[in-house]
Amino acid sequence: MNKHPSVFLVSSGRSGSTLLQSILNASQQIYIPQESDFITRAYPFYYDHPVYTDDDYEQLANFFCLTTVKNWGLTRNDIAASLKKAKPQTFGEVIALISSNCHQSEGTQDLVWGIKRPVLIARLNRIISVYPDAKIVHVCRDGRDVFLSYQSVHKNSSVKFGPKGIVANVLYWVDSLRRIEAFNCDCIFEIKYEELISHPEQTLPALFDFLNLSYNPSFIEEFKNYEKNKEIVPKVFQKDTHNKLSETLDASNSQKYKRKMSKAQILCFEILASPYLVKYGYPIEFNFSTSPLFSPLRRSFYCLARHINNIRYSLRDQKTYANSRIKG
């Protein structure tokens, strides 16, 4: 039986998960390669698969390449050939075998193995179904700054992604936190982005202890020069969306919404998201936005967001599955 990934790094997006990934990698005790959500997206089609055939392995290799940045440095043909040779008969073993190939090629097979992608937060139950002993690290950032970060992506990045408008942003952020809240498991460690960049010496030791890793303050500086971290983000994103990865932690990179969001935008965000801003200890600009009078409105929007997101995720998974069945 192959070793399997045991740490999963999730967030609502634009929340600092790549920064934390870089710091963890720099410890040289754990390695989290390029982003992949193969485990949660292939799950509905392959988790309960009765018997895996060579054709299934071909399609699994396709599916993996469609859901993993740079295929973790592997080729589709090599993945398919490896699966056919080993013939794993559970979904967890499929993932473990592909992970093993990645870590052998990286020379990190003796480290703790992790997987990272923000959208994994939408299907935590699938991760635990496959790997019951997995540890989940959740990075949270003030949703108003997350909104600004997505605005910057749509304005300045050559590759656009994420929600655009203020309502779409707030509901995407809240829905992610509600999924963490509903999961409510001892296997989850939550870390705030703002605390990570301002007080890493207070925040990181507890995280490393949770992951059973040894902590050293030098990791805070070493991450930006660690060679393997240069490959975890595609070059197209390094300049515009992940430029901070080559810099020292910047404690001022928070509460930017106070300077850059209009009062109307802040009010809209707080009316819809105040319960979760308060829960995570973020300051409220408009105190009346926390009024219970807005609760029916919030509940309606939250339910609608969950319904829409579930449909969107399901359609995306089905489309990827259909594409993975195309030969050639």
Residue 239: the pLDDT is 59
Cα–Cα distance for residue pair 179/175, rounded to 1 Å = 6
* Residue entry with tokens 């939408």: 122
At 244, is the pLDDT very low, low, confident or very high (cuts 50, 70, 90)? low
Q: Both tokens of residue 25?
A: 């990698």
Q: Quick: pLDDT tens for 262-274.
A: 999 999 999 999 9
Q: Is residue 170 pLDDT above 70, yes or no? A: yes
| Residue 137, C-beta contacts closer than 8 angstroms, at least 6 positions apart | 7, 8, 9, 10, 20, 188, 189, 191, 207, 210, 211
For residue 194, pLDDT over 70 is answered with yes
pLDDT, the chain, mean:
94
Report residue 156 as tokens: 């300045």
Q: Quickly count: other Cβ atoms within 10 Å of residue 65's Cβ.
A: 18
Domain spans of the chain, in order of start: 7-324
CA distance 127 to 10: 11
231: its two tokens: 């490959």
Residue tagged 């967001």 (tokens): 305
Evaluate whether 214 touches 204 at the Cβ level (below 8 Å).
no
- Return all residues near 319 (Cβ < 8 A) that are at least 6 apart: none
Q: Is 9 helix (H, G, I), strand (E, B) or coil?
A: strand
Least confident of 52-56, 90-94, 152-156: 152-156
Whether 86 has a pLDDT exceeding 90, the answer reads: yes
Spell out the CATH class of 7-324.
Answer: alpha beta
In the block, tokens 């997505």 appear at 150
Instruction: Work out the pLDDT band at 207, boundaries 50, 70, 90.
Output: very high
pLDDT at 247: 78
How confident is the model over 143-164, as pLDDT tens digits?
999 999 999 999 988 888 999 9
Give pLDDT, residue 228. 94
Q: Write out the E strands in 3-51.
A: 7-11, 30-31
Cα gap 17→11, rounded to integer Å: 6
176 pLDDT band (50/70/90 cuts)? very high
pLDDT at 242 over 60: no
